[in-house]
């Protein structure tokens, strides 16, 4: 079987941007019967592609079994079928959600073959290419075979990898296969994190993406990046590492970070490491305001984590908003489902993240004074002040440097049962 590039779910944030850069039309092909899993993966890809300010539209072409609208958190509404068969404007059918313009399947149709074969797809592809925008189509193998336009690239959504019977009959460039995790059994090398894309336009205003080449009329999509509620995907999940403490007396090996020596202590098994990432912002003030609202209005303790988007911590920084601390992944998933039921966030929003380490600030420190110094400090449910939630100690280097500049001492420790390290 031909080898292919694996795209583990946990690494999509690094791998997707360079793969779709320069592409105008990319097919997200499902080869699994688990459509909710595939729909969630497609939605993650769209959000990742749009997070740097690129204009992205995602169309649900699973016409017989629409799945994306439920993942996005929308009720069934007018969509692509209504645009093709009934003349509904795509401006009306499109919904802007977390920076992505989502077009659902829409009404039932008995003419799916005609919709796929319509020449409008070629014109739409040309229009997106001329504007530097990206059109993602979520479809089955049968739909791909009938699509009039030939996609610039193909991303297969297959949790267990490609089957032996898979055939790329149209010779579309295979960009990769999204699966639950990387496994060496496929014969492909591990996917390596790619350099972050060059563009960043989180403050770009909403602009109109005019598809002038479409003579049929009504084919205009408003597009633009929205800064708020644009959740950045979790970075690659490393194997558990020792926790770092800035002033630990443990006689274990020390490493150097930003000119400081830091020592390691082993985490305990009762760590409350799982959390739910609800959003990410380009500014600390907005992230802290969101965290404060969650605590005040919804009774949810939230953390804010600065995550630089380039190696060395010198690139642009996103500030993640993370809600709660849970001992297990199922507990975090149950908490997220409760957030959906309460309407705290739309259903489908929220990534489960294993980030057990936080900076613990000594008692008596002023929360306001820490925030005035540009530190992501929050008051936790037990009254302690915490900064961030990190997947591994090396992810905390940016925050450690900020603490050093502010002359604030804090220990990087696991969040534990009972609220004490």
In sequence order, what DSSP letters do the residues of 227-257 get, joined into one string? -TT-PPPPPP-PPP-PEEETT----S-EEEE
Residue 329, pLDDT > 80, answer yes
**Model confidence pLDDT, tens digit, residues 152-205:** 999 999 988 887 777 787 889 999 999 876 655 444 444 444 434 443 333 333
pLDDT attached to residue 243: 35
Cα–Cα distance, 266 to 156 (Å, whole number): 40
Residues of the chain with CATH 3.30.70.1070: 243-419
Residue 266, pLDDT > 80, answer no
Secondary structure element (H or E) that encloses residue 222, with its range: strand 220-223
At residue 83, the 3 state secondary structure works out as: helix
In 3D, which of 127, 153, 125, 181 has the Cα closest to residue 18?
A: 153
The bridge status of strand 56-60 relative to strand 100-103 is parallel
> Please, which residues have CB within 8 angstroms of residue 124's CB and are 6 or more apart in sequence?
25, 135, 149, 211, 214, 219
- Helices 35-50 and 12-20 meet at what angle, rounded to 10? 70
Q: 349 is written with which tokens? A: 């929003």
Q: Work out the end-to-end distance of the chain between its first and last CA atoms, rounded to an integer number of angstroms.
A: 50
pLDDT band per the 50, 70, 90 thresholds, residue 365: confident
pLDDT attached to residue 87: 81
Residues of the chain with CATH 3.40.50.300: 6-223
**Model confidence pLDDT, tens digit, residues 17-31:** 999 998 999 999 998
pLDDT attached to residue 315: 60
Residue 286, pLDDT > 50, answer yes
In 3D, which of 179, 132, 121 has the Cα closest to residue 20?
A: 132
pLDDT attached to residue 391: 87
Mean pLDDT value of segment 50-56: 86
Domain 243-419 has CATH 3.30.70.1070: yes
Cα–Cα distance, 380 to 288 (Å, whole number): 13
Residue 344, pLDDT > 90, answer no
* Superfamily in which the 6-223 domain is placed by CATH: P-loop containing nucleotide triphosphate hydrolases (3.40.50.300)
**Model confidence pLDDT, tens digit, residues 62-77:** 998 888 888 887 776 7
**Model confidence pLDDT, tens digit, residues 205-252:** 333 443 333 333 333 443 332 333 333 333 333 333 333 333 332 222
């Amino acid at each position: 079987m031909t080898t292919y590039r694996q795209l583990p779910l946990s690494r999509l944030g690094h791998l997707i941007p360079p793969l779709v850069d320069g592409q105008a039309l990319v097919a997200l092909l499902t080869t699994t019967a688990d459509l909710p899993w595939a729909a969630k993966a497609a939605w993650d890809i769209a959000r990742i592609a749009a997070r740097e300010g690129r204009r992205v539209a995602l169309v649900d072409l699973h016409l017989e079994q629409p799945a994306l609208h439920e993942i996005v958190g929308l009720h069934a509404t007018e969509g692509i079928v209504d645009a093709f068969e009934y003349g509904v404007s795509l401006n009306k059918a499109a919904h802007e959600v977390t920076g992505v313009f989502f077009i659902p399947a829409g009404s039932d149709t008995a003419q799916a073959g005609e919709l796929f074969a319509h020449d409008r797809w070629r014109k739409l592809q040309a229009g997106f290419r001329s504007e530097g925008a990206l059109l993602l189509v979520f479809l089955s193998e049968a739909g791909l075979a009938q699509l009039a336009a030939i996609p610039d690239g193909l991303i297969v959504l297959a949790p267990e990898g490609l089957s032996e019977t898979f055939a790329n009959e149209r010779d579309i460039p295979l960009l990769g296969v999204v699966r639950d995790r990387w496994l060496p059994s496929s014969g492909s090398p591990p996917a390596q994190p790619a350099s972050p894309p060059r563009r960043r336009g989180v403050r770009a205003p909403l602009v109109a993406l005019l598809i002038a080449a479409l003579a049929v009329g009504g084919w205009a999509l408003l597009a633009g990046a929205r800064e708020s509620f644009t959740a950045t995907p979790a970075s690659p999940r490393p194997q558990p590492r020792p926790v770092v403490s800035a002033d630990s007396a443990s006689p274990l090996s020390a490493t150097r970070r930003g000119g400081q020596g830091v020592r390691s202590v082993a985490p305990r098994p009762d760590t409350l490491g799982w959390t739910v990432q609800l959003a990410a912002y380009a500014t600390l003030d907005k992230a802290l305001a969101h965290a404060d609202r969650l605590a005040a209005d919804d009774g949810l303790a939230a953390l804010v984590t600065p995550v630089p988007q380039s190696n060395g911590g010198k690139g642009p920084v996103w500030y993640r908003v993370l809600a709660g601390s849970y001992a297990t992944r199922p507990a975090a998933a149950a908490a997220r489902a409760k957030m959906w039921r309460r309407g705290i966030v739309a259903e489908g929003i929220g990534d489960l993240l294993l980030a057990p380490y936080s900076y613990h600030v000594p008692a008596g420190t002023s929360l306001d004074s820490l925030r005035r110094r540009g530190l992501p400090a929050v008051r936790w449910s037990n009254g302690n002040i915490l900064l961030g939630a990190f997947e591994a100690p090396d992810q905390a280097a940016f925050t450690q440097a900020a603490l050093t500049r502010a002359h604030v001492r804090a220990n990087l420790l696991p969040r534990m049962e009972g609220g004490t390290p």
